[in-house]
Amino acid sequence: MKGSFFLGADKDKKFEVREMGDLGLFLGDHDVLVKNMAAGICGTDVHIYLGEKGSADVTPPVVLGHEYSGIVEKVGPAVRAVKVGDHVTVDPNMYCGKCRPCRMGRKQNCENLFALGVNVNGGFAEYSVCPDTQCFKLNDCVPFDIGAMTEPLSCVLHGADLADVKSGESVLVIGGGTIGLMMAQVMRLSGAANVIVSEPVKMRREIALSLGVDYVIDPVNSNLSEEIRKITGRDGVDKVIECVGNKSAALDAISSADLGGTVLFFSVPKVDAKLELPLFDVYKKELKIIGSMINPDTYQRSVNLINSGKIKLMPLITHVYSKERLEDAIRMQMSPDSIKVVVHPND
């Protein structure tokens, strides 16, 4: 059993494939041994690779990869939720249940947040061990690449809940990457009358249209405000969801919200990122500004949506790599030529 270990952002060689031993020899009563079939590259993996803060502290050497799916290979004696041979996806995020945020119903802010593929070995290995509470059964017909996207989709569902889109409202999604194109589809399923995606990369705009987005805008070669006015007949939209993570996109989000609008900052920015907020616009428009963090209590809903086939995820997967080429995979995820990059650990 081999895994691609992250050695540290400060190392010249950042990843190394190593033997891990037989992980199935010492399973706990509630542990599950998963043969990892597909693992997605996430923006958090990019942050970690660059030496920036992710969702939790990373202590190398560790196998990253917190978006993954696979086949149950072996189970502990007390496991009942899944059985050998089941196709599963893994919710990586675990909470203590004891700290103040957890006891207030805000476990996404858990002071002891612990994640597979971040703090302990995860998906960029041939096998992984996880608690049975974190395993969710996929329909056997669901491709593993799509199963690996359950975790980011669960985060999208949490953000969509916070945005609270109502039937007939207009929605602008800023950014046509993986998250933006997932979010746009969820907005359509939520009943939005117009779903608009702002994205400078032509390939991503074309895929957005193929997924059923109503309008796309190139924010570099056209005036975003004017294009929105043409579409909606007014100076903004009801809901804006920012999925890029830079200052320009954040300012576009604020300026694109109509009177009484909601702005959801979904992307993970750099820790020291700051924005000069146009306070008068916030005051005059009575804007609601919201953040969104990870996926509390939305994982099963994400599995249900994927099992239903009502969301199209395969068109988002643009590149596939082996675990031996993990650094190449991460670099490709950073490129505008990709949308979602997936690693096949057992290839």
Domain boundaries, the chain: 2-149+313-344, 156-291
pLDDT, tens digit, for every residue of 169-186?
999 999 999 999 999 999
Alpha helices per DSSP H over the chain = 43-49, 100-103, 144-147, 150-163, 178-189, 202-210, 224-232, 247-256, 279-285, 299-308, 326-333
pLDDT, tens digit, for every residue of 73-82?
999 999 999 9
Instruction: Tell me the β-bridge partners of 17.
Output: 4
**Has domain 156-291 been given CATH number 3.40.50.720?**
yes
pLDDT of residue 55: 57
Helix (H, G, I), strand (E, B) or coil at 326: helix
pTM of the model: 0.96
Helix (H, G, I), strand (E, B) or coil at 295: coil
Distance (Å, whole) CA 253 – CA 191: 21
Question: Is-catalytic flag, 47?
Answer: yes
pLDDT of residue 54: 58
The domain defined by 2-149+313-344 folds into Quinone Oxidoreductase; Chain A, domain 1 (3.90.180)
Q: Alpha carbon 320 to chain centroid distance?
A: 17
The rounded percent of the chain whose pLDDT value lies above 90 is 96
Question: Is-catalytic flag, 30?
Answer: no
Helix (H, G, I), strand (E, B) or coil at 317: strand
Work out the pLDDT band at 145, boundaries 50, 70, 90: very high
pLDDT of residue 56: 67
Work out the pLDDT band at 340, boundaries 50, 70, 90: very high
Candidates 30, 44, 87, 344; catalytic one: 44
pLDDT of residue 314: 98
CA angle (212, 215, 218) in 5-degree steps: 125
Candidates 47, 66, 87, 158; catalytic one: 47
Instruction: Tell me the β-bridge partners of 289.
Output: 263
Work out the pLDDT band at 157, boundaries 50, 70, 90: very high
pLDDT of residue 57: 79
pLDDT of residue 269: 85
Q: Which of 114, 116, 70, 71 minimizes the C-alpha distance to 91?
A: 116
Please list, in sequence order, all residues whose beta carbon lies within 8 angstroms of the beta carbon of residue 284, skipping any fewer than 6 positions away: none
Work out the pLDDT band at 347, boundaries 50, 70, 90: confident
Q: Which amino acid belongs to residue 247?
A: K
What's the rounded mean pLDDT across residues 196-210?
98
pLDDT, tens digit, for every residue of 219-258?
999 999 999 999 999 999 999 999 999 999 999 999 999 9
